[in-house]
Structure 1
Amino acid sequence: MKKFFTTLSNIWKIEDLRLRITNTILFLLIYRVGSFIVLPGVNAAALHSAKAKEGLVGLLNMFAGGSFSRSSIFALGVMPYISASIVLQLLGIAVPYFIKLQKEGESGRNKLNQWTRYLTIVITAAQAVGYLRSQITADTMLLPNPYFTILNVFVLTAGTLFVMWLGEKITDKGIGNGISLIIMTGIIAELPNAFVLEFQSRTGGPGGLITFIVELVALLGVIMFTILIVQGTRKIAVQYAKRIVGNKQYGGVRQYIPLKVNAAGVMPIIFAQALMFIPATVAQFFPNAASNGILMALSNSNSWGHNAVFAILIILFTYFYTAITVNPNQMADDMKKNGGFIPGVKPGNSTADYIDAVISKITLPGSIFLAIIAILPAFASMVGVSSLFARFFGGTSLIILVGVVLDTLQQIESHLLMRHYDGLMKTGRIKGRSSVPTAAGATPPVI
């Protein structure tokens, strides 16, 4: 306990770190306050009985921190921004103009960010129309329908853009990745209610308190397994040649390149989840198509079809995002320039091919385990866990929580170590997603 208070004291002594943490808390507080501001022209008193929190609608509500069910100005959250980033990154593979922008360094990234913002406006406006049609009923509207729809499409679009701006400000002026922290805040906001409801249902039903304790133990095991996946690395030995500069000798030692088993972090889960919202969106715009069997299966988060497609998308996105964030050719070139080589492998193209082969091998089991964790809530629901609590029983929410918490703690530890303070742990170091620039990419992703 003394070590804990000493660490908090050290964090408070570093002015830059103290300011960043304070800014992060204030920005997240603004987001939480805004999530309780109801859309203009909506009868707030009639909302609770009109909202359903099951399936994908429940997941959207969780990511938005309850804003979706409250018809808040932040009801759509940052999901349109994530969808826009997916589209831009896919265009960066197939369209020459966007491929060129990706190679232009800082100026290219600024242009891509601008394109992402423009596309976010379009996607948000489309999703806002679908949201108002499906979630706002006639008895909850206090304004005439055409005026109500036009007004709130603008309000929802402005709300998403404001949340996006908050996320960017957290990244620049705060600690951690802003968009990820906003999503994590929304998830944590739903946790206490889910915990209390599950406790009440279990203690009042068969099995009693023992069943609830078993669930908590199983949840702890899933959390430990998730941490292992997030922090797992494959070390590649690198030998550096000896160099004599003046009277000093440099190199001649063996070091390691730690390649992460899950180099893509939480991005495959978020990307796949964003795409899985498409069937529900289509059903909102075309009510007649909602009776289609395939569309119904994909819209039901507990169906076998939905979880099979979800798992496949996660595996594909894991390979995709690892390919665009980890560059074996650049790693081989940097190694060659610094006089390093992998024992038994020729420098240059052979080294790049070797690193690429290792990444491909470790990405496969990593992506499969990631997919298993992501679909665990569906299996938890099958054994009787309530749908609200099952979302924390593995799945997207748990992976995001673990990844974002580790990443934020790692950044705090980096600030401490830079100022020659002890880290957050007495022994060892926190290995977050950004702790290895060669594996996670020097530039943080769009979320």
Structure 2
Amino acid sequence: MSGELARRIGFTIGALLLFRLGTQIPFVGMGPPSLSFPAHEMVRLSIFALGILPYLSAAIVIRLLSLVWQRLNSREKSGENGRRSIARYTLLLTLVFSTFQAYGYASAIQTIPALVPDPDAWPVFAATASIVGGVFVLIWLSEQITHHGIGNGLALILSVGFLVSIPRDIAGIMELLQQGGISSNLVLGHVVFWIAAVAVMVLVEGARRNIRVEFGALDAGARQLPARSAVLPIKLNSAGFLIPVTVAPWIFFLPLAFAGFILGGDHPLVAAAYRHFQLGQPVHMMLMSVAVFVLAFVYTAYVVDPEASARSLAQRGGTIRDVAPGEATADYLDRVVSLTTIVGAVYLTVVQLIPEVFELYGNGLPYSMVINGGATLVVVCSALDIKTQVRGLSLTNPGGVRR
């Protein structure tokens, strides 16, 4: 193991330990929880109560705006200054989201006598400030991991949040098994299912559709570079997971919330709609599946631009065999990306359906709605990213020169 790799691994472990320590630090106004309060729920009363989700939500909103607002899209692609501007917009929107959520959270805690014996002395604004501060500490910590550690900081913080609940879930399952509350065959079935699911995720996330590209001979000063071939890789899942699955519920719940505001939450139509949109309900499953499938195409079209790729190939003298340069190449790449995205969209749809199928058929376990397909995919992608970076650092000497 190289010294650089060891340093990065040590830095990452230390940063993640700081994250876990922060989940045990109560926000302003909270004393030590009572003995009746579960220790594992302390994270809900800590400075990291909101986690990194406000930042992710802000980043997703900015990304969606860039899809429809050409000026923002151009700024994002204008170089380092443009990316810094986008980062500032994201942080400002994070401040708005986290302040709104933290104030609501602190106000809700105020109404729980077991946690706040004296509501009149409850410092709502101080609690709000400490929770918002916790969100920005996590943003800073994730950036440090990304720049100085190993792996993607945001994904690692999310992954650790999921992984720490697994021992407790296993203990709960074993207790239910001993009490006869669930069958051993059900537990074995879940174990086999998740082993197979992780194997499929690893396979799909590493899958590429490689398009062979030929480059002609090139004059470089006094030298002539010989003709060569390369591949243009197209990911099977170019849309990722967070944006399609995070945005899909907004399509339904934002109009539903607006209808509730206009008609009232107790209106029969609004109440019926909320009932059908609960997790595990057939209507929710069908509409979410359609939304995730469509959003996978929409976001892939933003991430993978066949016309830009065709222009880049033409500028570098690259051609695809039996395909004319220019518009024909763009059409060919568009067709390949579309066909590839069908597979990726089906895969994402199935992944997001995992916990709901368990819920619908009543064969879930206590963990099923928490450690679900999305959480597993985030952990798998984090592990694959770490593997890639470890391999890259292991094969380089100090200074970035390959061995």
TM-score range, shorter chain: 0.7 to 0.9
Q: Which residue of 1 aligns with 2:76?
A: 102
Q: Which residue of 2 aligns with 1:4?
A: none
**CA RMSD after TM alignment:** 3.3
Query: Is contact 1:41–1:142 with CA below 8 Å preserved after alignment?
Result: no
Query: Is contact 2:66–2:72 with CA below 8 Å preserved after alignment?
Result: yes
Q: 2:148 is matched by which residue type in structure 1?
A: K
Q: 2:91 is matched by which residue type in structure 1?
A: R
Matches within 5 A, 1:107-126: 107-126=81-100
- Structure 1 window deviating more from structure 2 (189-198 vs 301-310): it is 301-310
For 2:154 and 2:35, locate their aligned partners in 1 and report how far apart those are by CA, in whole Å: 27
Per-residue deviation at 1:151?
A: 1.6
Q: 2:267 aligned with 1:293, yes or no?
A: no
Q: 1:206 to 1:74 in 2, by over 3 A?
A: closer
Q: 2:391 aligned with 1:413, yes or no?
A: yes
Q: 1:225 is matched by which residue type in structure 2?
A: V
Per-residue deviation at 1:258?
A: 2.0
Q: 1:171 is matched by which residue type in structure 2?
A: T
Q: 2:358 is matched by which residue type in structure 1?
A: A
Q: 2:298 aligned with 1:320, yes or no?
A: yes
Matches within 5 A, 1:74-93: 74-93=48-67
Per-residue deviation at 1:82?
A: 1.0
Q: 1:246 to 1:88 in 2, by over 3 A?
A: closer
Per-residue deviation at 1:26?
A: 1.2
For 1:251 and 1:203, locate their aligned partners in 2 and report how far apart those are by CA, in whole Å: 70
- Structure 1 window deviating more from structure 2 (249-258 vs 160-169): it is 249-258
For 1:67 and 1:124, locate their aligned partners in 2 and report how far apart those are by CA, in whole Å: 19
| Aligned partner (choices 304, 328, 350) of residue 372 of structure 1 | 350
Q: 2:197 aligned with 1:230, yes or no?
A: no
| Aligned partner (choices 334, 352, 366) of residue 356 of structure 1 | 334
Matches within 5 A, 1:196-235: 196-205=171-180, 208-235=183-210
For 1:213 and 1:132, locate their aligned partners in 2 and report how far apart those are by CA, in whole Å: 41
Q: 2:231 aligned with 1:256, yes or no?
A: yes
Structure 1 residue runs without a partner (length 5+): 1-9, 52-64, 421-447
Query: Is contact 2:109–2:116 with CA below 8 Å preserved after alignment?
Result: no
Matches within 5 A, 1:152-171: 152-171=127-146
Query: Is contact 1:84–1:123 with CA below 8 Å preserved after alignment?
Result: yes
Structure 2 residue runs without a partner (length 5+): 399-403
Q: 1:178 is matched by which residue type in structure 2?
A: G
Query: Is contact 1:38–1:71 with CA below 8 Å preserved after alignment?
Result: yes
Q: 2:10 aligned with 1:22, yes or no?
A: yes
Per-residue deviation at 1:184?
A: 0.5
Q: Which residue of 1 aligns with 2:373?
A: 395
Give the 3-state SS of the residue equivalent to 2:211 in structure 1.
strand
Q: Which residue of 1 aligns with 2:23?
A: 35
Q: 2:170 aligned with 1:195, yes or no?
A: yes
Q: 1:101 to 1:255 in 2, by over 3 A?
A: closer
Per-residue deviation at 1:145?
A: 4.7
Query: Is contact 2:23–2:48 with CA below 8 Å preserved after alignment?
Result: yes
For 1:194 and 1:43, locate their aligned partners in 2 and report how far apart those are by CA, in whole Å: 27
- Structure 1 window deviating more from structure 2 (71-80 vs 96-105): it is 96-105
Give the 3-state SS of the residue equivalent to 2:142 in structure 1.
helix
For 1:296 and 1:103, locate their aligned partners in 2 and report how far apart those are by CA, in whole Å: 43
Give the 3-state SS of the residue equivalent to 2:367 in structure 1.
helix
Q: If the length of structure 1 is used for normalisation, what is the TM-score?
A: 0.78
| Aligned partner (choices 219, 231, 240) of residue 265 of structure 1 | 240
Map Cα deviations across residues 273-307 of structure 1 (whole Å, 9 max, x no partner): 7848967x969x98x62772323443x33333333
Q: 2:280 is matched by which residue type in structure 1?
A: N
Per-residue deviation at 1:378?
A: 1.7
Give the 3-state SS of the residue equivalent to 1:137 in structure 2.
coil
Identical residues among aligned pairs (%): 26
Per-residue deviation at 1:210?
A: 3.7
Q: 1:229 to 1:268 in 2, by over 3 A?
A: farther
Q: Which residue of 1 aligns with 2:401?
A: none
Q: Which residue of 2 aligns with 1:429?
A: none
- Structure 1 window deviating more from structure 2 (187-196 vs 258-267): it is 258-267
Per-residue deviation at 1:337?
A: 3.0
Per-residue deviation at 1:256?
A: 2.2
For 2:291 and 2:167, locate their aligned partners in 1 and report how far apart those are by CA, in whole Å: 30
